[in-house]
Chain A
Amino acid sequence: MSQSLDDISRQLKKRHRKSARMKWLSFGALLLAGVFLVLFLADMLIKGLPAFQQAYIQVEVNYSERASELPLAAVEADVRELVSRGYLRLIPNRMEANPDLLGTQRMEWVLADDEVDQYLQGADSSLSAKHKAVVDRLTEAGRAELQFNTGFFTNGDSKLPEMAGLASAAVGSVMLLIVTLAFAFPVGVMTAVYLEEFAPDNRFTRFIDVNINNLAAIPSILFGLLGLAIFINFFGAPRSSALAGGLTLGLMTLPIIIITARAALSSVPDSIRHAAFGVGATRWQTVRDHVLPLSMPGILTGSIIGMAQALGETAPLIIIGMIAFIPDAPTSFTQAATVLPAQIYTWASMPESAYVERTAAGIIVLLSVLITLNATAVYLRKKFEHRW
């Protein structure tokens, strides 16, 4: 006996209600994720944006004989506490570099102490009431203002928050990525070429295959231990150097590059290989002249994504000691270096509120670089997408 239309509709009503409920529930999940993302970004922006501006004050600098020995003497006592000690410390050096300065006296815009910066940005400041009054007076006279913080991008790390910048960490990151790329790209691509184009399909290659896929899922901190054991303890690469760090991240990136390169190689249709073999190309000529060039966009996309991951990685680098205080950018691959995420981590553990700003600003910079890298990868993939 067939059900009547009414019976079916009654049952359906319940099913439709459930369907609607699930739809709203899943939409709610999306909304929640979105809210968290927006909150995170807003929090970072609010905290980090002040770091892109830095307070400067105009004071009279007296390049006297005495100042070359005791830099504090170069400025008036009432503003002495307001000027960055980092600036004062450099006065003797500048006088030595430029002897004409001796005996002159002039008004200069100089970097202010971080507490002055906090006060001008309207944040909590431990400045005494007397000093606050001085700053207010200077502001009224147009002799204290916020300027774009170029030092944040040109200075290395510093114990004085107003002097601290991420230049040395950025240089370290770039050097690390160079090592990572130079190691992981050729090794990864050649491994993929071997597995995809040359290797016979036997138990051994299938075993390798499974293990490469597993390698990609290993927690990154283990690669740090591996790097420590191999590169530092066994091969004797200097601790916390870009060389050791880059190779360690290279180990981590290798499976990603191998997997994406294999996918790119296998997406090249066999008709191209047959065409090349058909005119008498050897296997390597076929790969080098036809298959590799066609899969290069895919390989590059995968490598960029791998590099982006390496750029954001901290855990394995902590293991090999790359979390040190590095005020000066490294000039060789064997010098101690630090990287952007490690710099952010260091700042995050500092008490001064100016470091909190810098932590957030560092995250903004790192995120921007990562988004740019990933956008490039997406763009490359879209642009060179082949339709066979």
Chain B
Amino acid sequence: MTTKLASPGAPVTFNQETTHDLELTVRDLKLWYGENQALKGIDLDIYENNITALIGPSGCGKSTFLRCLNRMNDLIPTVRTEGEIMMEGRNVLSKEVDEVALRKKVGMVFQKPNPFPKSIYENVAYAPRMHDIVPAGKEQDELVETSLRAAGLWEEVKDQLGSPGTSLSGGQQQRLCIARAIAVQPSVILMDEPTSALDPISTATIEDLMYELKKEYTIVVVTHNMQQAARIADYTAFFHLGEVIEYNDTATMFSTPSEKRTEDYITGRYG
């Protein structure tokens, strides 16, 4: 099946053994930085417990799109958005949805690891404590442990929870950031080029981790690495100049792309 765009209304079904539930539906999303339009009407369905990869040449709006999903763009004063992103039956872009609440549901991992300059423990415990997810004490310790375990970092840091998060290696820092994100118990995790600052071994670790994490979370990941998208993503969207040119399940996308531009980009002829 080769839908170019996920058509509005009817969720696309792919020829896989399970049908997937929708986590987020994006409809006609447009975004301007001042006068400059960066997103020109994006339609995209994001499926629960899947990894969706966003690929495309530099400056095509992947990061911008990702930041719409948890409204990090609100922090940029010149930004103006139109369209809708539906989650749990509500448009998260509307004023009635509190962006702080949204960010608890939709966590984010950044391109450059950015742990807080505090202890490893505090990095993970800070947000759950702030959201009153657990009381301080034993339950908090447990949440820190499960989060670090889920991020595959527990064994490496369990004896140095008090040392600063910034003293870890780059790959460990990125996993700490993942632990920090999942400690808030979100349903979606956004990752903007999470491995671009890491060495191949750390990259492989994080990829394995993402594979594990999708059992519990919906992951949207931006990547410049075609092999990475092919390896880990269930669905892939190809962005170009603020539009989604093609969106499909990854296998189809990489074997028989329906658009010439997609094929050119995937095979490295431009981008």
Contact = CB atoms under 8 A, between A and B. Distances in A.
Interface of A: 200-201, 271-282, 285, 289-290, 294, 386
A278 B100 contact: no
A285 B77 CA distance: 20
A278 B126 contact: no
B127 interface: yes
Nearest to A294: B117
Contacts of A277: 72, 75, 103
A91 B117 CA distance: 65
Contacts of B130: 279-281, 285, 289
A279 B114 contact: no
Contacts of B115: 275
B166 to A, nearest CB: 9
A280 B104 CA distance: 5
Contacts of A201: 77
Nearest to A202: B77
The residue in A272, A274, A279, A289 that gathers the most chain B C-beta atoms within 10 A of its C-beta is A279
Given A272-B114, A275-B177, A280 B72 contact: no
Interface in B106-124: 107-108, 110, 112, 114-117
B110 A272 contact: no
B6 interface: no
Nearest to A285: B130
A278 B77 contact: no
B116 A272 contact: yes
Given A285-B130, A289-B126, A278 B117 contact: no
B70 interface: yes
B131 interface: yes
A275 B70 contact: no
A290 B122 CA distance: 12
A32 B36 CA distance: 59
Contact of A274 (B100, B110, B180, B181): B110
Nearest to B183: A279
Interface in B212-251: none
A278 to B, nearest CB: 4
B136 interface: no
B26 interface: no
A39 B271 CA distance: 70
B184 to A, nearest CB: 5
A349 to B, nearest CB: 54
Contacts of B103: 277-280
B204 interface: no
Contacts of A276: 116
A197 to B, nearest CB: 11
Given A200-B77, A201-B77, A275-B116, A280 B101 contact: yes
Contacts of A271: 110, 112, 114
Interface string B111-153: 0101111000000001100110000000000000000000000
Contacts of A200: 77
A290 B114 CA distance: 12
A271 B114 CA distance: 6
Contact of A279 (B101, B112, B126): B126
A201 B78 CA distance: 10
B63 to A, nearest CB: 12
Contacts of A272: 114, 116-117
> Which 4 pairs between the two chains have the least Cβ-Cβ distance?
A279-B127, A280-B104, A271-B114, A278-B108
Given A276-B116, A279-B103, A289-B126, 9 more contacts: A271-B110, A271-B112, A272-B114, A272-B117, A277-B72, A278-B107, A278-B108, A280-B130, A289-B130
A274 B116 CA distance: 10
Given A279-B180, A280-B104, A280-B127, A274 B77 contact: no
A200 B76 CA distance: 10
29 contacts: A200-B77, A201-B77, A271-B110, A271-B112, A271-B114, A272-B117, A274-B72, A274-B108, A275-B114, A275-B115, A275-B116, A277-B72, A277-B75, A277-B103, A278-B70, A278-B103, A278-B181, A279-B103, A279-B126, A279-B127, A279-B130, A279-B180, A280-B103, A280-B130, A280-B184, A281-B100, A285-B130, A289-B126, A386-B117
Given A201-B77, A294-B117, A278 B101 contact: no
Contacts of B72: 274, 277-278
Interface in B65-121: 70, 72, 75, 77, 100-101, 103-104, 107-108, 110, 112, 114-117
Interface string B169-186: 000000001001100100
Contacts of B116: 272, 275-276, 290
A281 B117 contact: no
A189 B107 CA distance: 31
Contacts of A294: 117
A280 B77 CA distance: 19
B114 A280 contact: no
Contacts of B112: 271
Contacts of A275: 110, 114-116, 177, 180
A273 B58 CA distance: 24
A289 B123 CA distance: 12
The residue in B108, B112, B114, B181 that gathers the most chain A C-beta atoms within 10 A of its C-beta is B114
Nearest to A279: B127
A272 B123 CA distance: 12
A282 B177 CA distance: 19
Nearest to A278: B108
A294 B117 CA distance: 8
Nearest to B117: A294
B174 to A, nearest CB: 12
Nearest to B177: A275
The residue in A278, A282, A285 that gathers the most chain B C-beta atoms within 10 A of its C-beta is A278
Contacts of A273: 75
Interface in B180-213: 180-181, 184
A295 to B, nearest CB: 12
B110 A279 contact: no
A281 B180 CA distance: 13
